[in-house]
């Protein structure tokens, strides 16, 4: 069994490692402190059985890492670990190729169940998010497009529509359309609310990368 833990907190990696060693005596454990390191691990380790991926990495989001994983090794089993309990974020990670979504506030037993399930080919969702997902209790689209995410990053940096348009070589009208879609996605009344909600969802501005 070979498992990669991608988390920027050494204590978190060590704690997960101790749990995993107890589950798999023959375990080969790999560590990555950021997204770039996790992606680089795939090439020399094509036989990775599972990746435990923290959504909040210092250099990129879990979604960015998942998209790179999908290009390099489609079908890789990835379990996302996040402090967020937002169903939209969960849906985004699953759409990007994750096999499960675990809350950091959960207990070790939940993580063990999640690991066992995804390694058997299943999909794991926390009970709270599974209820929200099945209820359809969400407004707006399930995901933002890559272009909308790019606009969102600049919105989070406080750029105006004109500045975003100049930065991305778009018309202001196109940027306005993207901003409107972003507000709907976060069910926000203004840009400030959308930016704050985006932080809760795990999005990062360019300045924070």
The C-alpha torsion from 204 through 143 and 152 to 90, rounded to 10°, is: -20
* 100-148: pLDDT as tens digits: 999 887 788 889 999 999 998 888 887 765 544 444 444 444 567 778 8
| CA distance linking residue 193 with residue 67, whole number of Å | 27
Residue ranges of the chain assigned to CATH 3.40.50.2300 = 2-135
Beta bridge partners of 28: 2
> Does position 151 have pLDDT exceeding 80, yes or no?
yes
Residue 135 has a pLDDT of 46
Tokens at residue 157, please?
A: 């940096």
* CATH T-level topology, domain 2-135: Rossmann fold (3.40.50)
Residue 126 has a pLDDT of 74
Residue 110 has a pLDDT of 87
Residue 199 has a pLDDT of 81
| 56 phi, psi to nearest 5 deg | -95, 90
Residue 30 has a pLDDT of 97
Beta bridge partners of 6: 32, 53
More confident: 203 or 152: 152
Residue ranges of the chain assigned to CATH 1.10.10.10 = 146-208
* 11-62: pLDDT as tens digits: 999 999 999 999 998 999 999 999 999 999 998 998 999 999 999 899 988 8
* 79-105: pLDDT as tens digits: 999 887 677 778 788 888 899 999 887
Q: In what order do the strands lie in the sheet with 100-103?
A: 28-32, 2-6, 50-54, 78-82, 100-103
Tokens at residue 198, please?
A: 């985006």
Beta bridge partners of 52: 5, 79
Q: Is the pTM of this model over 0.85?
A: no
Residue 81 CB contacts under 8 Å (≥ 6 apart), including other chains: 7, 52, 53, 54, 55, 102, 103, 104
Mean pLDDT to the nearest integer, 148-168: 92
User: pLDDT-derived band of residue 175, with 50, 70 and 90 as boundaries?
Assistant: very high
Residue 87 has a pLDDT of 74
Q: What is the architecture of the domain spanning 146-208?
A: Orthogonal Bundle (1.10)
Residues composing the chain: 209
């Amino acid at each position: 069994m070979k498992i990669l833990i991608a988390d920027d907190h050494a204590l978190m990696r060590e704690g997960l490692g101790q749990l995993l060693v107890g589950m798999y005596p023959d375990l080969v454990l790999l560590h990555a402190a950021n997204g770039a390191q996790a992606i680089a691990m795939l090439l020399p380790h094509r036989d990775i059985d599972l990746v435990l991926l923290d959504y909040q990495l210092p250099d990129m989001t879990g979604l960015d890492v998942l998209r790179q994983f999908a290009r390099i090794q489609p079908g890789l089993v990835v379990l996302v670990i996040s402090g967020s309990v937002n169903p939209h974020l969960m849906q985004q990670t699953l759409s990007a190729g994750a096999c499960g979504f675990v809350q950091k506030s959960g207990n070790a037993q939940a993580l063990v169940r999640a690991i066992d399930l995804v390694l058997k080919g299943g999909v794991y969702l926390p009970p709270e998010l599974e209820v929200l997902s099945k209820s359809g209790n969400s407004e707006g689209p399930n995901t933002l497009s890559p272009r909308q995410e790019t606009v969102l990053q600049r919105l989070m940096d406080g750029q105006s529509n004109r500045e975003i348009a100049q930065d991305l070589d778009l018309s202001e009208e196109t940027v306005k359309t993207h901003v409107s879609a972003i507000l709907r996605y976060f069910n926000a009344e203004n840009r400030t609310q959308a930016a704050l909600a985006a932080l809760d969802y795990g999005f990062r501005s360019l300045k924070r990368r």
